[in-house]
Chains A and B, each alone.
Chain A
Amino acid sequence: MSLYAAAVQPFFEYGFMRRALVASLSLGLSAGPVGVVLMLRRMSLVGDAMSHAVLPGAAIGFLVSGGLSLFAMGIGGMIAGLTVALLSGAVSRATVLKEDASFATFYLASLALGVLIVSLRGSNINLLHVLFGTILSVDRDAIVMVGCITSFTLITLALIYRPLVAECFDPAFLRSVKGRGALYHLIFLLLLVINLIAGFQTLGTLMAVGMMILPAAIAQLWGRTLFTMAALAAIVAILSGYLGLLLSYYLELASGPTIILVASILYVISLLAAPSGLLMRRFNRSHLSG
């Protein structure tokens, strides 16, 4: 079997692989840029917390619909995620706890609650599917929903680009011109939640945030401007999705962890080879001192 055949055959042969591929490509297109903004806002851990926070909502949706229905789990996850985001924001404003600390407490509670809810009614297999995803469940409706989320995310990011960037770069300035930074922060949190939900089926709730953080970290090593970073992150996310699906097919591995591990390998390569990475820094230093 030639390399080319190996690279495309599974997608020709199986409908579920095709659908998983389309879902991954679409997801990467929006999760990459969202991840870049997340990282530049120093909110990587908030993104992580959020991916746990959506779990109880997703679990309830899972129980109500009786299976891995992206729509039911998505609605539940969105409600849970936004509730945690708003509550932890309110707690950090009203008490001495910083926002990341209150996020951490809320997400631990949510994660525990979510796992309990799923294990109450479902089998262990179900729990694994919810946590780590299964490409077998990607159906037509799921693809349409992921596509809608991607389109909405990219259009919204383009619309709120200026205030969002201004709010990360110099929040005091934006406040001084009455730029309503809090509103854009909230819109961005919404984008974060819906992108996590889009990653539920191929990646699972626990891994969904990986599709944002890893490509964004890689993009930051290679890119110089915000636009190139966002574009690179999208490309890396798409590439990881494709390679991860292929590997998980041949090696019979769970798709979510495989995709994220592929992204991790790309990250290690970038760490070594990128202009601001380890090897180049070393080389440059010896060049200067020599």
Chain B
Amino acid sequence: MGSYRARRTMVGHYLGHCYSMNTYAIRLSDVTLSYDRHPAVHHLSGVFSPGSLTAIVGPNGAGKTTLLKALIGEGGQVEGTIDYGLLTSDDFGYLPQATRIERQFPLTVADVVILGAWRRLGPFRGVTSEIAEQAETALSAVGLSGFERRRVGTLSDGQMQRVLFARLLLQNTRVVLLDEPFTTIDDATTRDLLSIVRHWHHGGRTVIAVLHDFDQVRAHFPETLLISRRAIAWGNTADVMTEDNLRRARNHSEAWNDGAAVCIESEVIA
């Protein structure tokens, strides 16, 4: 613990000069994630380097959501280690799948966006005019100026997703995790929100998104992690998204659906 703190201050000292130092990287070494004691993701090793923009791609049930949740310290058991370097839980912004949200709740758009300031406001502090202004700016950045007083129940799927992106803008975290952000969203909204993702990338944030649209991944995401219960490939998108790899991912997941609950790879090793 003491050495950790020492390392923290030492590295913190150099931070201003040297952003490329891998202190804000997320390193996975031999990570196996289990859900109800069934392994969902196997023996995953690799690095999300700081400022990287990574798509996580894979068949249904490949463990993509499980992996995102594990990164924010939620969900099942984790074997192996996830090294966060200097990142703390406060550095993570997380957008869950849209279906998990109670859309009919009588809240206004502004209420939802201001939730993004949770770390500054906590459960009790009042909303300052500064934060209200930031919320307005965030809303105009996602193309929803003037929507502050609208109730979220009246929004379309695309508008709701814009609101949630505005909340992420207000959260202003080093790492942004997006779980299927563009599923069921219209093209215009997807375009606008992708430009926000690009903006985050240029601003040096680490962005990790679970995606389904391969063309989108190839066009906008420099790095890709292709998983199907285990990593099929991880690296430059062009190298990862080959026909061969994608076929392997599909086959692997089909083989898996036959009901195997044990960890095959560890059996092989044993």
Q: Give Cα distance in the complex from A173 to B92, angstroms.
A: 11
Number of A-B contacts (CB under 8 A): 61
Q: Please list 26 pairs of residues, one from A and one from B, whose beta carbons are closer than 8 Å in the complex, sorted by A's number.
A: A40-B102, A159-B124, A160-B123, A162-B121, A162-B124, A165-B105, A165-B107, A169-B101, A170-B101, A170-B102, A170-B115, A172-B100, A173-B96, A173-B167, A176-B72, A176-B94, A176-B96, A177-B171, A224-B106, A224-B151, A225-B106, A225-B108, A225-B151, A226-B105, A226-B106, A229-B106
The winner among B74, B107, B112, B119 for most chain A CB atoms within 10 A is B107
Min CB–CB distance A95 → chain B (angstroms)? 12
A166 and B74 CA atoms in complex are apart in Å by 18
Chain B: residues with Cβ within 8 Å of the partner, total of 25
From residue 150 to 195 of chain A, which have CB atoms closer than 8 A to chain B?
159-160, 162-163, 165-166, 168-179, 184
Report the nearest A residue to B106, measured CB to CB: A226
A223 proximal to B (CB < 8 A): yes
Docked-complex contact B101 and A163, CB < 8 angstroms: no
- Contact residues of A with B, CB < 8 Å? 40, 159-160, 162-163, 165-166, 168-179, 184, 223-226, 229
Task: Tell me what chain A mostly uses at the interface: helix, strand, loop, or mixed.
Answer: helix
Shortest CB-to-CB span from A167 to chain B, Å, is: 10
Interface of B is mostly: mixed
Tell yes or no: B84 within 8 A of A by CB: no
B123 close to A178 (CB less than 8 A): no
Question: Given A40, A166, A178, which contacts B115 in the complex, CB threshold below 8 Å?
Answer: A166
Q: Nearest-CB distance from A44 to chain B (Å)?
A: 14
In order of increasing CB-CB distance, the 3 nearest A-B pairs are A172-B96, A176-B94, A163-B123
A276 vs B191: C-alpha distance when bound (angstroms):
35
B89 proximal to A (CB < 8 A):
yes
State the CA gap A14–B105 with chains docked (Å): 44
Query: What's the Cα separation between A216 and B214 when bound, in Å?
Result: 47
